[in-house]
Amino acid sequence: MDGIGLIQDLAIVLLAAGIAGTLCRRLGLSVIVGYLLAGIIIGPYTPPFSFLQDVDRIQTLSQIGLVFLMFAIGLGLSLGKLGRMGWPTLAATGLGALFVLLLTSVLGFAVGWSGSQSLFIAGMFMCSSSAVIAKIAAELNLTHERTGQLALSVTVLEDIIAVIMLTILGSHVRGGGGETVSTVLTTMSAFVVLLAGGGLLMVPRLMRRLEARADPELQTIVVAGVLFLLALTAVRAGYSLALGAFLLGAIVAEIPQKASVEKAFSGMRDIFSSVFFVSIGMMIDLRLALPVWPLILGLVGFVIIGRSLATGLALTLTGARPRDARRAGLLLLPLGEFTYIIAQLGVSAAVLPKSYYPVAVGVSILTVLIVPVINRHADPILRLAEKIEPRWISRALEAYHGWFQQVQSQPTRSIAWKLIRGRLLQTAVELLFGTGVLIFSPQLLELLQENAGTFGIERQTLSWVFWSGIAILVLIPLVAVWRNLAAIAMIVGESVGSDTRVPAAVVRNALTGITAVGLGIWLYAFVPIEQLGGWGWLVIGAAAAVVVAIFSNKLIYWHSQWQSTVRDVLAEDPRLQTEAAAEAARGKRLQDLEQWKLRLSEVVVPDAATYGGQTLAELSIPSRFGCAVLEVERNGHVITAIRPDLRVYPGDKLLLLGQEEQFRGAREFILSARAADDEAEEFRGSVLETSTIPAGLNAGRTLAELKLAQLTGVRVVGIERHGQKIIAPSGQERLEPGDNVLVAGTLQEIGAFQRWLNQQAAGDRS
């Protein structure tokens, strides 16, 4: 009967989630809101609709849902994508989380929360909902705006902040707050590097073998098994299921089989994720929420004001324009799924009262409902804020932004820093890998010793064999660390010696000695001496020295092989690299749009369009509406060579450049036969750049005479002359010396145009 009861409960949960999710989707709300409401209705705290009484069974399924949910989040944030976002986005995300923590601590002190409660509540407020923000950005046509891209980048990275907070809070609960945050972060970083390093070494090989068998069924089964294995490994290491599942997702996101894995797991992810959110709703007791509704409203106000200030200031400090940062801060307000997960952890650990569970859900739902309204009226809100803000603050922020831009435009750092920067990062990763091996090996040894009798091996013998193998494993990165640090000492010594009177050899030898002492302290701190005793480790240390002396080349070879494997995994397809570079360049060029007071807008040609098959010349969009067609996306391919004879077909996605009033007429015309519910996907590939025409030999000729499209491939979409702007100029428009031109094209075409300009300038000087 237990099995039948579980099937019955699962049927009720899925049907309720489906019905509530459908209703919320029709109302324009997130389906997550529907799942939560479904859980409240069918849960044990809402009679007479208490269809489920055995919540423990559903909680078990919800843990499975959490694993799939975190795996999907990891798939959306690969290690390569993380590196492409750049340090300003990384720094802004971290600073924003820190500011939220500080503001929440101040609020907690004012209302009487304990330190642990303030920490949990800050964790609930640190992370926004990427799904809701992406939807709002698309609805308000902010996907191509600088503010929209800032918000989307930050909300993706906030998932990492949430995973870190889950780890810190989980360790805080288990250790009773005894461990410091730095200790927890160091240990977790070592675990992440250890698991990610092993995963990057093993998972791609496993996936290639499965792909060679051409059996999607086996691939899905094996990946699911590895997923749960890594989730359990994280639990055995003292962390949550979420960390292991998230890491596997980030690893799979780097391999070519990502698309097939994502497709195979989409159904299971949707099913069990809905079960997870419904189970969250089932834990909400509305009777506990009614007395605390003033607290819910107060916290909603705190989130709206506090998160917008925190994220806006963080983005400003990392180089964004103050107004762009504030606009992005308004987008980053809706709280997401991690709010429920952290609240659940806090309530189950008895750190937060049970009433705070519905408080967290209530605050999250209200922010999801309110934020679209706020962002539709963002401009009046920002103008009001600028009017209220003291002038000295505005001047200080603008001055800081100008200084930051000057610093960024300065020449690059010294050659010595360029040479040692990569080695420092590699050394840190390898030290963390060795730290993880030494910290978590005792747990593995304990598991092996429990089964030693089965294989007729004595525990002491197993211990010696095990730690000897671990010593060899640690030696591989340790030798690489020593070689890197020795090279850094040599580079720094030569650099300092050339700039000062201190001999290079003195600096090099001093740094080498400090390195040796530091590595000795590191070994003493992390080697589990109690496992074999001092004499036992001395024997292993002596044996390790002999191994290094005799087989050092072999150790270096193994290390290089591992590095080569990881590089092969992280190496992207050239097309993806070009796309990433174009996307990064496009983000930098968005400031040009602001200078010209222009915007980008996407519109999809409907299936029932009566003009399907006509050319762009026949449609005459620039001459009729004043906006230019930059690109056409067709069947996933971007067409950048926009010619008058290019035909437009149903399903094509046009990228328009113009002003808001120009978009209205163009969109009404294009969508005049629009089918219902066309959903635009994220558009990539456009690069815009503003350049000044030099007083060269070809200045004063018309665009038709210059033939820029034939020579370089770019399209001139705007000309600024003496303060007047000409959008979508005709071929008879002349280019005069000093004109600012806005051109569109690929990275290669933009480069060719720049070379053409340089040739004109050189011809003028000659």
**β-pair partners for 658:** 599
Write down the H helix ranges in 629-683.
Answer: 660-670
Contact yes or no for 496/507 (Cβ under 8 A): yes
Pairing of strands 653-658, 724-727: unpaired
User: 3-state SS of the chain: helix, strand, coil percent to 5?
Assistant: 70, 5, 20
What confidence score (pLDDT) does residue 103 get? Answer: 93
The C-alpha angle with vertex 173 and arms to 353 and 118, in degrees rounded to 5, equals: 55
Domains in the chain, start-ordered, CATH in brackets?
Answer: 2-376 (1.20.1530.20), 415-570 (no CATH), 577-765 (3.30.70.1450)
What confidence score (pLDDT) does residue 675 get? Answer: 39
| Residues of the chain under the 50 pLDDT cut | 1, 572-588, 674-685
Q: Taking Cα atoms as reference points, which of 96, 161, 89 lies closest to residue 587?
A: 89
What confidence score (pLDDT) does residue 529 get? Answer: 81
What confidence score (pLDDT) does residue 274 get? Answer: 84
What confidence score (pLDDT) does residue 571 get? Answer: 57
What confidence score (pLDDT) does residue 679 get? Answer: 37
What pTM does this model have? 0.65
Question: What does the alpha-carbon distance between residue 601 and residue 528 come to, in Å, rounded to a whole number?
Answer: 60
DSSP per-residue letters across 47-95: TT------HHHHHHHHHHHHHHHHHHHHHTS-HHHHHHTHHHHHHHHHH
Tokens of 571: 């190496």
What confidence score (pLDDT) does residue 298 get? Answer: 92
What confidence score (pLDDT) does residue 633 get? Answer: 82
- Cα–Cα distances in angstroms (integers) from residue 278 to residues 51, 283, 314, 338, in the given order: 13, 9, 34, 14
How many helical (H) and strand (E) elements, i.e. helices and strands, does the chain have? 30, 8
What confidence score (pLDDT) does residue 300 get? Answer: 92
Question: What does the alpha-carbon distance between residue 193 and residue 429 come to, in Å, rounded to a whole number?
Answer: 7
What confidence score (pLDDT) does residue 597 get? Answer: 67
Q: Taking Cα atoms as reference points, which of 380, 408, 410, 400 lies closest to residue 321?
A: 400
